[in-house]
């Protein structure tokens, strides 16, 4: 069966959920394929999602980091979804709320069976903070591939950008079988084709392709 390229421009808002339990209510069966986007509240996560889908307001952007307090799900087709997880770290919210978000993030990464890959977004000027490392480690321990996406790459000169990318790759080298590292700029579109290629690959896990092929045979 030939793998079709996913048109990420067709992403549409599906649902919002406060936690993994409610996500199961809205999407029963934990089926299909999900790609999660996670990052600190000032990492440019919403801007990246909008840039990758070529939609100005698919994910809400705000001058106040941490406004995304829900798990927001966007459908690509009947089988595939993008999941915008709550921002962590910087947000000026009560500690109890921060702990609730972190619990939801960890729970989602560790128990969501349909999760095919995780994009961990980090400001290229401030990569690999403690919570970023924790997110990456959670995913790798669950054998889920990770794209460490260094956002706001336009803020650095090309030489400084490559130096940071190589440094992050070195620091994550013990997990290189599971982690890819790329620079990205939502403003300039830096490495957008590369990122979309990775996401497209994650959208076609072997088990899903076999399942779709079986559905075609049955039809």
Nearest partner of 152 among 161, 143, 144, judged by Cα: 161
Tens digit of each residue's pLDDT (9 = 90 or more) over 66-115: 445 788 999 999 999 999 988 876 556 677 767 777 777 777 888 888 99
Average pLDDT rounded to a whole number, residues 46-51: 95
Integer Cα distance of 73 and 50 in angstroms: 13
Integer Cα distance of 51 and 58 in angstroms: 9
Integer Cα distance of 149 and 197 in angstroms: 14
Please give the helix or strand (H or E) that residue 201 lies within, else none.
helix 192-202
209 to 83, 87, 152: CA distances (angstroms): 21, 32, 34
Q: Say what the pLDDT of residue 92 is.
A: 61
pLDDT band at residue 59 under the 50/70/90 scheme: confident
Q: Say what the pLDDT of residue 160 is.
A: 98
Q: Say what the pLDDT of residue 147 is.
A: 98
Tens digit of each residue's pLDDT (9 = 90 or more) over 167-211: 999 999 999 899 999 999 999 999 999 999 999 999 998 766 676
Integer Cα distance of 46 and 186 in angstroms: 10
3 vs 60, higher pLDDT: 60
Lowest mean pLDDT, pick from 56-60, 131-135, 158-162: 56-60
**pTM of the predicted model, to two decimals?**
0.88
Phi, psi for 45 (deg, rounded to 5): -65, -45
Q: Say what the pLDDT of residue 41 is.
A: 83
**pLDDT above 50: residue 1:** no
Nearest partner of 155 among 67, 61, 49, 47, judged by Cα: 47
3-state class (DSSP) for residue 155 = helix
Average pLDDT rounded to a whole number, residues 124-151: 94
Tens digit of each residue's pLDDT (9 = 90 or more) over 10-20: 999 999 887 77
- Residue 94: CB atoms within 10 A of its CB come to 9
pLDDT band at residue 9 under the 50/70/90 scheme: very high
Give the start-end residues of each E strand in the chain: 12-17, 33-39, 71-75, 80-84, 115-123, 146-151, 179-183
**pLDDT above 80: residue 2:** no
Q: Any residues with CB less than 8 A from the CB of 132 and at least 6 apart, and which?
A: 39, 40, 120, 122, 148
* Mean of the per-residue pLDDT values of the chain: 87
């Amino acid at each position: 069966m030939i793998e079709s390229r996913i048109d990420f421009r067709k992403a549409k808002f599906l649902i919002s959920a406060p936690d993994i339990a409610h996500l199961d209510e809205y999407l029963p069966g934990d089926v299909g394929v999900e790609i999660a986007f996670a990052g600190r509240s000032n990492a440019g996560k919403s801007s990246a999602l909008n840039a990758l889908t070529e939609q100005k307001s698919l994910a809400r952007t705000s001058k106040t980091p941490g406004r995304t307090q829900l798990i927001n799900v966007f459908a690509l087709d009947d089988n595939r979804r993008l999941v915008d997880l709550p921002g962590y770290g910087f947000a000026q919210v009560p500690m109890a709320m921060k702990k609730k978000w972190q619990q939801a993030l960890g729970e989602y990464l560790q128990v969501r069976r349909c999760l095919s890959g995780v994009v961990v977004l980090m400001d290229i000027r401030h990569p690999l903070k403690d919570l970023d490392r924790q997110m990456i480690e959670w995913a790798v321990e669950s054998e889920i591939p990770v794209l460490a996406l260094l956002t706001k790459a336009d803020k650095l000169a090309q030489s400084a950008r490559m130096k940071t990318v190589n440094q992050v790759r070195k620091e994550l080298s013990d997990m290189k079988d599971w982690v890819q590292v790329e620079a990205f700029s939502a403003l300039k579109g830096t490495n957008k084709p590369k990122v979309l290629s990775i996401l497209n690959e994650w959208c076609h896990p072997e088990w899903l392709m076999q399942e779709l092929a079986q559905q075609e045979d049955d039809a």
